[in-house]
Structure 1
Amino acid sequence: MNQPDPLERFRLTGRTALITGAGRNIGAAIALGYAGAGADVLLVDRDKEAVEEVAGAVRASTGRTAVTLHCDVGAADIVDHVAETARAHFDRVDILVNCALAFGATGTHSADVSPAQWQDALDINVLAPARLSALFVDALVKGGPGTIINLLSGAGFAPVPLAAPYSVSKAALWMLTRCFAKDCAPRIRVNGLCPGTVTPDGVARTEELRRATPMGRGGRADEVVGAAIYLASEASSYSTGDIVFVNGGFTHLTGYSDEIIGSDPVGRPRAGGRSAG
């Protein structure tokens, strides 16, 4: 009896993926992983040099089509830019990955966060995914099945001290994921992907964070790619409104301790904390 190849359900051949925050780290790794699985990609990032480098790597390593759009995903006209670029290069878009993020501010007491810092986090982490998801559902996927993947954070499930804009906006993104999943099923599946602390070499940023993680280290961006491919592919065809955690066992259920936050340079004061977009 001939059995179908189970790995074929993980292939993305013939599909197109739109990925924001694609110029670095997890977004770049997902772009390369999707292309390796057979997808063409539309890569969005405000850092032109970085996103062009990722696109070049996609073309060189996989031969897939890689189109870039360098703009701020938090801008109110992001939908116009994405729609114009997508329609110019692709018949349709099958996969949307909202990966761009902004901290808004860190190292700042919740009561001292400025309106601009709140707005920065909300624009990138909530409003951009909402706008792009609506565009995807209404126009880009063109009636067929599709999938949306939102990059969540443990900060959205338990408060991170001195990082209220990031925690609040990521919690809102999880609810946005659930709302779109319920409203758009069964045609569109919408899921969350929640990575833990990711560093270039997988070494935890601090000893305190390493001790708090059962795997005893940080993660690497490439270790998130398998879950991203699963959520984008037919292998996850019965999953919507769900979360896949890739965090080394650090569940975030009890929150981040002051010891961890105080030791981590990422948690130190910053303003205008966009890392990608």
Structure 2
Amino acid sequence: MSRLNGRIALITGASRGIGAAVAKRFAAEGAHVILTARTVGGLEETDEAIYKATGRHATLAPLDLRQFDKIDQLLGYSIFERFGKLDILVGNAGVLEALGPVAHYDPKLWERVMDVNVTANYRLIRSFDRLLRASDAGRAIFVTSGAASAPYPYWSPYGASKAALEMMVKTYAMEIASSNLRVNLIDPGIVATKLRMQAFPGEDQTKLTQPDDVAGRFVDLAEAGWTGNGEVVSA
């Protein structure tokens, strides 16, 4: 397993769920992974699993993505100083917060959903565009959802945030089309995650697709040989 041998990959939301699964799979494929999330304990658990499997530690960068300036300060400058490039960016972190009717939705929760699901990813693009272009085959992957194109009652903040993310990422993909960078979205489908449990608390998650089951598709999009750009790919 060496499809990402020597690549430098940054993964957001890497303390659990899909982010942690992708981090472990990337490391198994030979990448050095930089992991960010708010939960230090969760990042350490992911790192421990990576070390046990590969004998190599990840780089941990605890961060609340809503602290936008710290994306520049903690991640952008630090990664530039240490590595001089970034081969793979995975914008995985996302929040649901709560379901509710548009007319009664809490403005603070709306703002939080947009901050994490849209604005934080814009700030990641803004911070890492130069480093991704410095790679011989930069790859940026952002996690979307069927909610972006299929409206459903009470899901408006999450659906609107993913629709905005898709438009932003597809536009960015057009802008970098003449470079070595490739930018895509991935829809993992229905996966057993904390976010899914928030929306469907009574659901038996053991019967759902597990995060490890979709991690391989992220490897496909992260490989230097992937040529698609501006696509929404299913896991």
- What is the alpha-carbon distance in structure 2 between the residues aligned to residue 180 and residue 65 of structure 1? 32
Q: Which amino acid aligns with 1:60?
A: K
Equivalent residue number for residue 127 of structure 1: 119
**Would the aligned equivalents of 2:97 and 2:113 in 1 still touch at CA under 8 Å?**
yes
Equivalent residue number for residue 231 of structure 1: 221
Q: Determine whether 1:46 maps to 2:38.
A: yes
Tell me by how many angstroms 1:71 deviates.
1.2
Equivalent residue number for residue 156 of structure 2: 164
Compare the two structures and name the one with the higher helix fraction. Answer: 2
* CA-to-aligned-CA distance 1:47-73 (integer Å, 9 cap, x gap): 010011101211221133410111111
- What is the alpha-carbon distance in structure 2 between the residues aligned to residue 142 and residue 127 of structure 1? 23
Q: Determine whether 1:93 maps to 2:86.
A: yes
Equivalent residue number for residue 252 of structure 1: none
Q: Which runs of 5+ in 2 are unaligned?
A: none
- What is the alpha-carbon distance in structure 2 between the residues aligned to residue 41 and residue 228 of structure 1? 14
Pick 1 or 2: higher relative contact order, CA cutoff 8 A, min separation 6: 1
- Tell me: CA distance 1:111–1:167, structure 2 relative to 1, closer, same or farther (3 Å): same
- What is the alpha-carbon distance in structure 1 between the residues aligned to residue 208 and residue 225 of structure 2? 27
Tell me by how many angstroms 1:88 deviates.
4.7
Equivalent residue number for residue 185 of structure 2: 192
The percent of aligned pairs where both chains have the same amino acid is 36
Q: Determine whether 1:218 maps to 2:218.
A: no
- What is the alpha-carbon distance in structure 2 between the residues aligned to residue 94 and residue 143 of structure 1? 5
Q: 1:83 aligns with which of 76, 79, 85?
A: 76
**Would the aligned equivalents of 2:66 and 2:115 in 1 still touch at CA under 8 Å?**
yes
Secondary structure at the aligned position of 1:133 is classed as helix
Tell me by how many angstroms 1:209 deviates.
8.2
Computing the radius of gyration over CA atoms, which structure comes out larger, 1 or 2?
1
**Would the aligned equivalents of 2:8 and 2:88 in 1 still touch at CA under 8 Å?**
yes
Tell me by how many angstroms 1:138 deviates.
2.1
- The alignment's C-alpha RMSD in Å is 2.3
* CA-to-aligned-CA distance 1:178-223 (integer Å, 9 cap, x gap): 01110012321110110112127xxx997x989xxxxxx5211011
TM-score by length of 1: 0.75
Q: Which amino acid aligns with 1:245?
A: S
**Would the aligned equivalents of 1:94 and 1:145 in 2 still touch at CA under 8 Å?**
yes
- Tell me: CA distance 1:160–1:51, structure 2 relative to 1, closer, same or farther (3 Å): farther
- Tell me: CA distance 1:79–1:35, structure 2 relative to 1, closer, same or farther (3 Å): same
**Would the aligned equivalents of 2:146 and 2:187 in 1 still touch at CA under 8 Å?**
yes
**Would the aligned equivalents of 1:153 and 1:196 in 2 still touch at CA under 8 Å?**
yes
